[in-house]
Each structure stands twice: as structure tokens, then as C-alpha cells.
Chain A
Amino acid sequence: MKFLLRRALFYLVALWTAASINFIVPRLMPGDPATRMFNRAKGKMSPEALEGLKRAFGFTDGNLWDQYLTYITQLLQGELGISMMFFPEPVADKLLYATWWTLLLAGSATLLSFALGTLMGAIAAWRRGGRFDLWGTQLAVLLQSTTPAVVALLLFWGFAVEWQLFPLGRAYNIYLSPGLNWAFIGSVLYYAALPVLSIVVISIGQWHFSMRNNMINLLDEDYLLLARAKGLSERRILTQYAARNAILPNLNAFAMSVGLVLAGSLFTEVVFNYPGLGLFVLKAIQARDYAFIQGQLLFVTLGVLISNFLGDLLNLALDPRLRVD
């Protein structure tokens, strides 16, 4: 209980720190959104309009401390402010919209690569030095060291542009009206296929490796020898004895990467014009949409903290030593 309280307190402090940094950093950057809008309009906007916009965005040259208090108060009420690029829509609406697509895209890609990578790692370790270990592990090294931008662009170029097997982008066929019917769901899956593949391809290696390494360390353990001596089938030893123990560290890392899902998959989403958080935040940075960037960063912080907390709980359940303390 004490352990949990301590963790909870730590997470609260971390959250407050993140929120404060969130407030300060955009204000250290040059320019303000209204002036930027004015400059970008290349003189097609009147100076009177600039003054009016500054007031609308709350970028009057007020006291920084007052601005901070307003920011924290609004945050506690769940108000993230008005987005500039989607002006005058509130940030929260658009964040939530993008979150659904990111959860679908990055969430399923993370699950898929975790499941596949872990399985491949286990097999590679079990048949150490075998053909699969040799080629599969080499391939994993190669893919892991490729950048997401390259993989996404190659897939986009090959499958979408040249061979036209998959759509060029967006989240579903735009001529279907969204709804819970098979045509629409099918379209969502079809449109997600290439982007998901591009993430899975580069992230599968990491799970493959850690699983393989964990397993290899375990293979010399006495209890595996004992299991063999008892005459258990190889399959049973692999799944119930070796892999089950080796997967624990992978689960911890998985909890972490689930939290980071909310950061969005920048390159994939940009290449495939996928309406997730990564694409939105890139556009927000380009437009200097502070309110949106702040909201998104807060979202990621929350995601990582919550999934870490869940990871703590999981550890607590799995590791009796933590409970003794």
C-alpha cells in the first residue's frame, strides 16, 4: 500500500511538472500565433485584424504568472483551450478525434508486433543457431535499424503508387458514410493495412531480440533440465516453462510502449495522410498551434504515466518481493 501511495504521489508531481514545462516552452519560442498568422498572410491581413486576433488568442502582453494561473485552472477543468489551426474549435474535440485513429493504428501495430516478435524471438532462441535463428535474426537486425520514414515511403511507393494495390491514404474510403456496417469496417481495415504494416515491420525486431535474449539466458536454468528429466514434451517446456518466464521483462516494455502509442506514429501518419495524433501534432507545430501542442504533450504524459502505473500494479501482482517491502 505504501509502495502504491509513493508511486501515485510521484506520478502527480511528474504530471504537474510536465504541465508547467508545457506552459513555459511555447512561450520561450519566438513569435506568437497571431503574429505568425499575420506574417504568413503576406500582407493580405490588416494590422487592425492582427490586434483583434491577439486578443482572441489570449496573447495580450499580460503578466506571465496570471497567464499560468489561468492555464492551470482551465486544465483542472479539462479545458485545453482553442486550437488555432482548427479555429475556433476547442483542442479537446480534435485531440479525441485523432486519438481514436491513433489507438487503432499504433495500438494494433504495437499489439501485432509484440505478439509476432515475441513468438519469433522464442522460436529463434529455442532453435538457437538453426536456420530460422540465422536468417530471422539477421532480418530483425536489418529492419530494426531502418528508419520509419524509409519503410513507410517504400511501402507507399510500391504498394500504393506503383502497383495501386492499396489506397494512397486517409483512414477509410471517403465515399462511404461512417457507421457500424461491414462495408465501412472493411474499408477501415483495408486503409489501415499498409500503415500498420509499416510500423510492424520496424518494431518487430525489438521484441524479437529481447525475447530471444531473455530465453537464451533461461535455457541453461536447472528447472528446464528438471522438466526435461520429467519427460515433458519439448512443446510444453517451450511454452509453459521457458517462454512464460522470459516474457516478463517484455511485458514491462510493452506497458511502456502502450503509453507511447498516444505520441502517434509521426512518419507513418504523414506518409499515409492518416488522421492520427502524429500528423495532427506535426501540423500543429508547423502552424505554431500552442494550445494543440500542449494538449497533445499532456495526453502523452498522461498515457505514459497511466500505463506505467498499470505496469507497477502488474509487477506487484507478479513479483512477491515487492509486496514484502
Chain B
Amino acid sequence: MAQLRRPLGLLSLTLLLFGYVVADESSAVRRGGTLNLVVGQASVFVRNFNPYVQNARQTSRWWMYEPLLIFNALKPGEYFPRLAEGFEQPQSLDYITVHLRKNLKWSDGRPLTVADVVFSVELLKRFPALDILGITALVESVEQVGANSLKFHLLTPNSTAIYKLAELMPLPEHIWSQVGNPLFYMNANPVGSGPFTEVVDFTPFVYKQCRNPHYWQAGKPYIDCLRNLQFSDNDQVIAAARRGEIDWMGTFIASPEQEYADYHPHNRYWQPAYEPVNIHLNTRKKPFDDLRFRQAFSLALNRKEMVEIAAYGLPIKSEFPIGIGVYYDSWINRERLAPYARWMKYDPQQAAAILDSAGYIDRDGNGWRELADGETITITLSAPAGWTDWTNVLATAVQNLRDIGLKARLSTPDEDAWYEMINAGEGDAVIMWAEIGTSPWHTYWTMFNPRGMNRGNIHLTQFHQYRFPEVVALLERFGRTQGLAEQKAIIAEVEELVAQRLPVIHLFSNPGWYQYNDSRFQGWSNRDNAYVRPYIQNDVPERLIHLLNLSLKKGVEAP
């Protein structure tokens, strides 16, 4: 008998969602209202609601087409059942059984069945360009079992596959089977499964998206419609937001207090740690392959100045040199990592001492340190032109390195040239984000997975090209492990190895962009009530949970 895994039962979830509502003074939630949103920027809106096309309208994903499950990135292992009630994976890990909810309907009233889900998986497999979420790459085949369940046969046994499969948004077979090439299908009048499927008054500058008459979840959504506003750049968004016209958005604002919150009493923001930011040294080159050099490099950097001045005070500081910042706070083993915190300190004297003892000294007296063969060490740090905060950060790094006798310079190539340089594995050093996932496993896997290190095709977050077989073995073991405690133990080992070898030089975490105005609506996920990641961006599935929790405030005229 296979051991079953069900991290969060239906009951506790219901409590979780209702807990908020009950706490809100009275039990009756007010219904109605139109929420004003800004999701992404565009010169004009094009009526494309294909949820599997990258440049389509960003409100189709998760809101028009609901996923099977939504994992809560804030709470490891917990998930919200959506179209699926739950899943099971046997200890052999070679398949996953997903149980669909009963009596689901599409927004046109036709039943949503297991056949639709099977059809959708097969469609994505037939047209790989549609599979931008990379859902089916892990799946060998899918089959219906019983009336309401289906079995995903995995290509390799994998306990992390469910995080991808959860994101599958089924498409209605009775519509999409009539479509020629689904990549070019604009889906102007979507038939979906999510809470907001009906498109009203679509123009190039605004459209409304209103409630699905056949939505499965009783009583939801509380809000009638979403109004999506077009903006082509940040200044325009901020100017409109100052007038309190926008309820929910996620825009880069250099000083959110002065530029945004001060202008309207209900303008609020919460920008917790999101993507980790690292400097990658190309470890295929000398002297970057030398651990002592990387240790000195790390000690030479004045991260305080980088955070507070170069990046406008917005990033979140990190304690440990583990490359993943503080986003996965609950996965960090502080005691174990304590001895490595010293590499995050600013200590130019010790940095110089380490370089001296490692033999990187100025032999010819020109002021710059040299390699053993007499060649001057030069380091070109690069960030794409126009990425001002990162350019400022690297400018600080260049100054810090020159202070300890390393001939560093800054380069800001065109964005595409920068990508090409990284894909080719050329160059000395770049500043780089790390990918965010449901657990640190994803971030480390996309950093050390050897398949992403083929020269000419190097994955952006693997520019360091540090081969790390010990970590890869641990991460592969993670993929064959189910218990959260065991998984945490594995990640703790990985973190320690990374802190020991410094394959990347960790800087800080970038903030995630989230601003909202609470004059009309309530139920926001925020610092005091952080029930899901609060972001509106379409790569955050939790934004569906967030949206379903919002409701009109009492005594406010319905907008």
C-alpha cells in the first residue's frame, strides 16, 4: 500500500479562509464592486485571453482559468485545493493521482470533466510552444482513472513535479478542439473555469472582466468585476495611483513612501524580500576558480552601502552567504550557518590579507595585484544598460575591489548582448537574480543543474559555471524525498556547502513590488495578515486566493 501524502486537509483550509472573514467584525461580507487593477504594462491592450501565451492579457492566467492546486509559498508544503481536491503520490514517486472536484462547470454552463484535463495535457504536449509554464515536460502520459481522478505518469520519479502540475489550467475541450493552431488563438471571448471570465467593454485602454456565472465555489467571488487599466510606463502608473484611483498594483517605485503613500491616506505598500541577487564570477577563469579569491571578493564588498545608497534602500539584507537570500526564511538553519556569516561582513583589511596569503600580490608595483604568472588581474563586472539599481550596485563593487588593489571595471552592454554573453559563458562577472520557486530546491536546482551549463546555451542563473556534484546529488535526493523534515535537512546541507564554497557571491534580496489602496476594499494580504504572497504579477498563482478574499468595505459607495 502506497503511503499517501496530503499536507493540508480540506477542513483546515476552510478554517484558514473563513478565519479571516470571521475576524472581520461581522460575518456578512459585502458583495459587489469593481476593483481597479494595473497588471503589467502595454502600449495598448490586445484582446488576447489565451492563458498559455506569454504576451497575452495578463488577467487570463489563474483568474479566467483556474489551476488544479495552488501551493502557498509562504507556508512550505501547504496548498489550496482549487479545481482538484487533492493529490496522492506513491513512495515510488513515479506517478501522481489528482482528484478533481465533482460537478465543476465551465463558464458557459457545460460540465468540466477529467476528459477536459486529459485533453489539455495532450494539447500542451502536442504544441510545446504553448507550455510556457513547463508543466508537461515532466509528464510522460496522463490517463483517466475512475470518474473524477487522473493519473500523471512521470518521466522520472520526482517529488517536486506536483509543484508544476498544480499550475495546470485545464481548457474546455469543446472549444479548443476546434482551434487550428492554439498558439495563434486569441480566445477573445473566453470560456473558463476561474472566478472572472466575462469580458465587458473591451477597448485598447481599459476592459472589465466580470464574475463567472457558473463559478464552482459557493459565495465567491465577493467582487463583481475587475477593471484593468492600460499604462505604458511607471511614471504614468504612479501619477494615477497618487490620486487613489488604483486598488491593486505592483510597480517599481524608488521611494514608495514619498512618491506614493504620502499622496493618499489609503495608499499602502508592502515589499518583502523576493528574488535573491548575487554576483556570479566566471569560475572557469583564473583566479575566480580559487575559493580564497572568492572569499576575499565577498569580504571586499560594502553591502550596506549597496543596499542603502546604490539600490535606494529597497533591498532586504541577508545574513548568510547562501545565494538564496531571506525569501525562504523557514528553510534557513541559523545555528548551522552561523560560522559562515562572517563572509557577508565588509572587511577590506582581511580581504587584502587573504589575497596576499594566496599569492595575489602586486609584483611589478603598478598598484594592481597580479596572478602568479605576472598577469594583472582584471575583473569586468557587467549589468545591462538601463538597469539603474544594479548598475549602481556594481559601481559600488568596482570601487570596493579597486580599494583592495583589484583592477575592476564596470560594463553596461545592451540587454540582449548581455544575455548573449551569458549564454556563451564569456565575460568575468555579472550581477544576477536567482529563480524563485515553491522551495529553495527550485532556486538551487536552477543554479547548479549541470544541464544548464553547456557553453553556448548557459542558463542565466548558472553563469558562475561552478560544477558542484555534491550539491547536485543532494538536490536529486531531495527530488526522491517526500517528508518536509527530511527535505529541510537536505536543504540545510546544501546551504552549508554553498556557504563553504561560495560558488556565487551573495549580495541581498530584491523586494517584490506590491502596492494597494484600501479605501474601498478590504481583505488584503499584508505585513499584519500575510496569508499569501501579495503580488499581482501573473507568475504568482496565489493572486487568485488573494483576489477571492477581497471584498467591498462597509459604508463605501460601490465603485
Contact = CB atoms under 8 A, between A and B. Distances in A.
A201 interface: no
Contacts of B242: 161
Contacts of A51: 128-129
A307 interface: no
Interface stretch (B86-94, B107-115, B416-424, B491-499): B416-424
A275 B204 CA distance: 9
Interface string B207-236: 000000000000000000000011111011
A160 interface: yes
Contacts of A55: 129
Contacts of B240: 168
A42 B462 CA distance: 12
Q: How large is the interface on B (under 10, 10 to 19, 20 to 34, 35 or more residues)?
A: 35 or more
B278 to A, nearest CB: 14
A161 B129 CA distance: 43
A49 B419 contact: no
Interface of A is mostly: loop
Nearest to A169: B236
Contacts of B8: none
Interface stretch (B130-138, B265-273, B355-363, B369-377): B130-138
Interface string A40-55: 0111111111011101
Contacts of A164: 243
Nearest to A31: B416
Nearest to B242: A161
Q: How large is the interface on A (under 10, 10 to 19, 20 to 34, 35 or more residues)?
A: 35 or more
A62 to B, nearest CB: 18
A42 B459 CA distance: 10
Contacts of A168: 236, 239-240
A84 B43 CA distance: 13
Nearest to B419: A39
Contact of B54 (A37, A98, A178): A37
Nearest to B181: A56
B246 to A, nearest CB: 12
B414 A30 contact: yes
B330 interface: no
Interface stretch (A66-74, A85-93, A210-218, A316-324): A85-93
B140 interface: no
B104 interface: no
Given A31-B416, A31-B419, A42-B435, A49 B130 contact: yes
B461 interface: yes
B131 A49 contact: yes
B199 to A, nearest CB: 15
B353 interface: no
B43 A279 contact: yes
Contacts of B203: 174, 177-178
Interface of A: 29-31, 35-37, 39, 41-49, 51-53, 55-56, 84-89, 94, 97-98, 160-161, 164, 168-171, 174-175, 177-178, 270-271, 273, 275, 279-280, 283, 288
10 contacts: A30-B419, A31-B417, A36-B416, A37-B54, A43-B446, A49-B132, A85-B43, A86-B48, A271-B235, A273-B232
